[in-house]
Structure 1
Amino acid sequence: MFKTFRRMSKSSIGTVIIVLVGLMILAGFAIGDLQGLGGGARLNSTTLAKVGSLELTDQDASSAMQRRLAQVREQNPEATYATIAADFDPLMANLIDERSLRAFAEQQGFVISKRLVDAEIAQLPGVRGLNGQVSQDSYNAFLARQRMTDAELRTLVTASLLERLLVTPAASSPQISVGVATPYASMLLEQREGQVAFVPLSLFAAGLNPTDAQLQQYYQSVRSRYMVPEQRVLKIAEIGPDQVNVAATPQEIEAYYKSRQADYAARDIRSLSQAVVPDQKVAAGIAQRARAGQAFAQAAAPAGLGADDVALGDQTRADFADVAGDAVAAQAFSAQQGAIIGPVQSSLGWHVIKVDSVKTQSGKTLAQARDEIAAAISKEKQQSALGTLVDRVQDAIDDGANFDQAAKAANLTVVTTPLVTATGASRTDAAYKLPETLVPALKSGFELAPTDDPVIEQLGDDGRFALVAPAQVVSAAPAPLASIRDQVRRDWITKTASDQAMALAKSIGAKASGKTSLADAVKASGRQLPPIGPMRARRIQLTQGGEQVPAPLRALFSTASGKTQVGALQEAPGFFIVKVDKIIPGNALNQPGLISSVQKEFQQPLAQEYGDQFLAAVRESVKVRRNEEAIAAAKKRITSGE
């Protein structure tokens, strides 16, 4: 709703603070246009901005764009710096505002402690290891995945905390008066009437047939539109179970069985209930009630124990000893079924135990366990052999071997792909599909430089690996005209027809902007256009339609009475001409509910405006100086991939 007000009234109620959320960028504020402050010494060519005593360097911008590209590539593996060129300016604003807050906090003696930063880092997704704990290894792995140093991450987390502690309070709970909200509510009730005409592209596309010279000229003017992403020929050698031939020997099976006789022998299994309490008298009371015939759970209930607390289920002696200790387990496994044992003391407290049932689990002979043992030994040997093979291949690479030498020495089978993109698709062979098992190797294959050593990539959780290296790299470049001639021809026809249709629509719009009716202007064009349609709506319909509001309806409410507006239609290729015939003002005085709704709608944008103004004051306080020449050079260098 607020966007509609901004478009129609061009009020000065602030621009929106855009908060960029993600693992790559943990804090930032896109806050309109930053005004460079003059004066002071000239900044050097590698310093993009000076914020108080802090500098923003060319390397800082490069690192931020590199992290942004890595983030985008998670969804679009073929993305390049050109793809994210539009992100450069917002990222620059983020970096300057981050330094502005840090400089302001330092200026005011507002300190973010290391302990607070550590606590924030510990909450980031991906920092904890598989055991759910933060360790130095898990933290280092997180930093490696994000391509960040510890200092860079701490800087971003500090900025996020400063935003939360300084900016958020300044923007909290803004109040909008009825007097401010009422005119906007009345605007929502405004009604407009008009007409719309349509100029379709198909009217001009028929009969267009470009010459070779026209196609060549058009292609040269829009070559970047036909960019083919980087392609590579990859060499991949899988290292898996097929590369190691191992099997359990009879001697190994027999030795395994003997070393684990307790696992294969007959076992005494007992279903137990147990209550553990710190006081001997309480334990004695439980035992007395249980021996008197009460169900064990009922006997333990006065001590605050529930049925789930006392039921242990089936236990072996070893299992129960791990829980209760050897002395308690010895008594429990020497008693008869139904017996109540205890109170017995251990380091845990006083135990009362009931033997609910006793059964014997038959063991397995060597012959019965042979297949099971053979599978276990083979798997263990296979994992060990694979580890040894991977180490041998890595050692060869470390000693200077190239891909072919390392693969040959390890007797690995090499798969060579055709030219493929980062998605694994081949532009020259539409039927080609990289085997699913090798897909994880794509990422490394496209990250390696042609001169880098080959790398070993884990293919999955089943112990398979792959040696991977690029064999050929074809940089991103426009596709040759000959290979996309039909597509370029279609695009030329569309562009030419669009230019002609737009020229006609503008001509009709110019004639109809005044006393001439839209119908007369269309008739004067000499073209047979679709029938003119009437339009009638209230402005509130714009807010109800969200982003799905038709462009002609938006034009109806952004054009003065008696004037016209020309625009493009995406859903039906062509151009529309809207003329506003009548504007009927709205009156919200009799609709207090609508006024209240507008007050609520304004709260969030106004909070964002307050935050915007606070940050503007912070920038003014710390004196931001921008090196526009260096910023432009950095943008050109980074986004062009130079």
Structure 2
Amino acid sequence: MITFFRNIFASKIGLFLTMCFVALIAIAFASADVTGSGAFGGVTGSGTAAQIGESKLSTSELSQSVNNAFRAEQRQNTGLDLKTYVEGGGFDSILDRLINSFVIADFGRKYGMTAGKRLVDGEIASIPSFQGADGQFSEENFRRALQQQGIKEQQLRDDFTRNLLADQLLTVSGFGASVPQKLVTPYASLLLEARQGQIAIVPSAAFVENVKPADAALAAYYSQNGSRYTIPERRSISYSLFSKDRFNETIKPTEKEIEGQYNLDKARYAASETRNIDQVILPTEAAAQALADKVADGMSIGAAADSVGLSVAEVGSVSKGALAGTASQAVADAVFTAASGGVSQPAQSALGWHIAKVNEVQNVAAQSLEQVRAQIVAELSREKIDQALAELTVTMEDEFAAGSSLADIAQAEELKIESTPMLLANGQNPDDPNYRPIPEMQRILPVAFSLEEDSDPQVVEIIPGQQYAIMDVSKITAAAPPPLKSIEQIVARDYILEEGSKKAKVAADKIAEQISGGATLSKAVADAGVRLPAVESVRSSRADLARQSQQGQVPPPLTLMFSMAEGTAKTLKAPQNQGWFVVNLNNIDPGDASEREDLLAATRGQFKQVFGNEYTEQFINAMRADVGVEKNDDALTTLKNQLVGRN
């Protein structure tokens, strides 16, 4: 759901405001009844997680938002489970963001600021998911989206209102932040700083013993590191696909409907005349007549218009009624009186006096019912099929809400039910790396993984107005590590590498100690008593480091080198127990950006953004103090325990 409304809460002032408005729209989350204490109440939908000014943040809304944000994170990190997310700060982060959004809205209302209904309507109408094929707001799509996500319209409107008030208040809070030059120059100079050093790797493989680990040692290692092998939550999905094609042979317009449509559109099929014209509009009748005379004498209308400093409008083919609507009846009468190839007499509209060159006259004969029958049948069939498909999806949604199962609806509509194996949220099957889900799963999976275990089956739109699916989550397997026996070889490999890493650390520490005593890195590596890879010399600047960081390619030893003192050596563990790095910093070449206006300007701009975000944060803190925030610690603790499965 967060992905669905991602653009709704985008900040106009940068990262800080974005942080304040993530996870405001919640998906259905059914929390168990837990009795609370004190004036706040329990952890049910009527409980209060925090009192913010005149508003209350309910425990239900908080739990919905946490669950929603977790699902969004899980789509990016399929190995994430709810307990890890909550205990890793996700719960507290969402709570703080929600409180901030309530604070801003309450502060705005307190001092007379509003976000009117028309403004909220405009924001809702701009969401692509609520728009139809014509790009306009679709009430049907809007209602369907709310129903699929389990959101009440008022909840959505409240979230938009809070966000709009935040835009009004926070946009100016960091505007105009200034930065002194004495602060800018040293930081800009850091980008020009260069460092030269050496890096050695002490691989774990150099210390691995070719001996099978003892069963007890392997079991103890697996027990301590089970989270490393956890398979994320998996779900099996039952579904049936259907499209508008199912109605092609069963829905046909009746003869009465065909005749009625023909009579309704009789003017469309009547005989008609269109004229292809070029026209010029002049300010006076005399000027128009003079121009008409020039064209009548053989001058082209374009040349005649150029001679008086005007240009020709190429109107193209137009009917008399259409021309009367865009110009005037007098203009239409004059144009449709002129002969083909001739020029019309001057006629007046609200814009001035028109003359037109009639390039071509096109006459279309009247069409009988039999001549246009196929066209009418196709149009009526398309309309009736679209209506039948829309009514079918609404009926299915109503039946699911009333308690019907997926099997009930599939049987009634003669649909075939298919089932997936146990899939991850990204569609992968851990038991079969070669498994590939059907393309329609790209639309089904996000809905399936947003549902709770006891949720009703859902209708999912695959191709708007064309194809749909009905689906239900038939089985959920919680995130858990597999049995040791099934991955024993992998665990044994990791255990052996970790044991080798411990010995590699001892060797790396000894090398670093020798460097501190005056030895070179090459000499210390040679004296390590085990064959190690050659030492690598490196030289880089902070600007190079920044560029590599943007590409996500900064080697950890290089990052460490830029946090060390000159003439020192440090050790760093390699990823996945592959070994240890020894980093020796030989020389620091300080930079000077005092003459680099490009760097100074860029650094100044970055500081302005940082300062602006800081001003915004302080403004929010001041608003919190003004409206008052009181957290219900007992209810929050109980809710957090619920989410992670603790009693």
Write out per-residue CA displacement over residues 44-97 of structure 1, whole angstroms, 9 at most, x where no aligned residue: 887666666766664454344345346546767887645755544444444454
Partner of 1:564: 569
Partners of 1:342 and 1:554 in 2: how far apart? 83
Matches for 1:585-600 after TM superposition, within 5 Å: 586=590, 588=592, 592-594=594-596, 597-598=599-600, 600=602
Q: What is the deviation of 1:241?
A: 1.8
Contact 1:104 1:618 in 2 (8 A): no
1:615 is aligned to 2:617: yes
* Aligned mates of 1:389, 1:123 — CA distance in 2: 25
CA–CA distance in structure 1, aligned partners of residues 576 and 217 of structure 2? 28
Paired residues of 2:305 and 2:311 also in contact (CA < 8 A): yes
C-alpha deviation, 1:234, in angstroms? 1.0
Return closer, same or farther for 1:125/1:213 CA change in 2, 3 Å cut-off: same
Q: 1:578 aligns with which of 563, 568, 583?
A: 583
**RMSD of aligned alpha carbons:** 4.9
Q: Which amino acid aligns with 2:16?
A: V
Q: Which amino acid aligns with 1:296?
A: I
Does the CA-based 8 Å contact 2:573-2:580 persist in structure 1? yes
Q: Are the aligned partners of 1:186 and 1:585 in contact in 2 as well (CA < 8 Å)?
A: no
Q: Deviations over 1:424-455 (max 9, x none)?
A: 44444555544435653444444444544433
Residue matched to 1:339: 342
The SS at the match of 1:436 is coil
Once residues 242 and 480 of structure 2 are traced to their aligned partners in structure 1, the CA distance between those partners, rounded to angstroms, is 31
Which residue of the partner structure matches residue 234 of structure 1? 238
Rounded Cα–Cα distance in structure 1 between residues aligned with 2:328 and 2:646: 67
1:173 counterpart (164, 169, 178): 178
TM-score when normalising by structure 2: 0.74
Match of 1:553, SS? helix
Partner Cα distance (1:323, 1:336) in 2: 21
| Structure 2 partner of 1:19 | 16
- Measure, in 1, the Cα distance between the counterparts of 2:566 and 2:394: 78
For residues 351-366 of structure 1, the aligned pairs below 5 Å read 351-361=354-364
What is the CA-CA distance between 1:490 and the residue it aligns to? 3.4
Contact 1:233 1:473 in 2 (8 A): no
Matched with 1:468 is 471
Deviation digits for residues 484-540 of structure 1, max 9, x if unmatched?
A: 344333333343333432343234334543445545654564322223345566666
Residue-pair matches, total: 604
Paired residues of 1:187 and 1:585 also in contact (CA < 8 A): no
The aligned counterpart of 1:201 is 204
Once the two structures are TM-superposed, the CA of residue 545 in structure 1 deviates from its matched residue by 4.9
Matches within 5 A, 1:51-450: 58-59=59-60, 61-69=62-70, 71-72=72-73, 81=82, 85=86, 86=88, 87-98=90-101, 109=111, 111=113, 114=116, 118=120, 121=123, 125-126=127-128, 129-130=131-132, 148-165=155-172, 167-169=173-175, 172-177=177-182, 180=183, 194-205=197-208, 207=210, 209-225=212-228, 226-242=230-246, 245-246=249-250, 255=259, 259=263, 267-275=272-280, 284=289, 287-297=292-302, 299=304, 306-307=311-312, 310-317=313-320, 319-320=322-323, 323-324=326-327, 329=332, 332-344=335-347, 351-361=354-364, 372=375, 375-387=378-390, 389-390=392-393, 393=396, 396-397=399-400, 400-430=403-433, 432-437=435-440, 439-450=442-453
**In 1: Cα distance, 2:41 partner to 2:163 partner:** 25
In structure 1, the gaps of 5 or more residues are 1-15, 28-40
Q: Which amino acid aligns with 1:559?
A: M
Matched residue type, 1:479: P
**What whole-Å deviation, never above 9, does each CA across 1:7-62 have from its counterpart, x for those lacking one?**
xxxxxxxxx984354996399xxxxxxxxxxxxx9998876666667666644543
Q: Deviations over 1:553-595 (max 9, x none)?
A: 3333422345321113459943111234x5566474xx63148
Cross-structure match for 2:5? none
Aligned equivalents of 1:303 and 1:22: distance in 2? 62
What percentage of aligned pairs have identical amino acids?
A: 25
**2:194–2:591 Cα contact (<8 Å) kept:** no
> Is the 2:284–2:353 contact (alpha carbons within 8 Å) kept by the matching residues of 1?
yes
What is the alpha-carbon distance in structure 2 between the residues aligned to residue 283 and residue 23 of structure 1?
Answer: 65
Deviation at 1:312, TM superposition (A): 1.8
Q: Deviations over 1:114-169 (max 9, x none)?
A: 4896598479654984566679888777877795521222112212321112x213
Q: Which stretch has the larger CA shift, 545-554 or 628-637? A: 628-637
Write the distance in 2 (CA, Å) between the matches of 1:422 and 1:59: 25
Q: How many angstroms apart in 2 are the aligned matches of 1:125 and 1:330?
A: 46
Asked if the contact 2:23/2:66 (under 8 Å) is kept, the reply is no
1: distance between equivalents of 2:589 and 2:51?
A: 50
* Structure 2 counterpart of 1:552: 557
**Structure 1 residue 271, shift from structure 2 partner:** 1.1
Q: Label 1:50 to 1:467 Cα distance change in 2 as closer, same or farther (>3 A).
A: closer
- Give the unaligned 5+ runs of structure 2: 1-12, 25-37
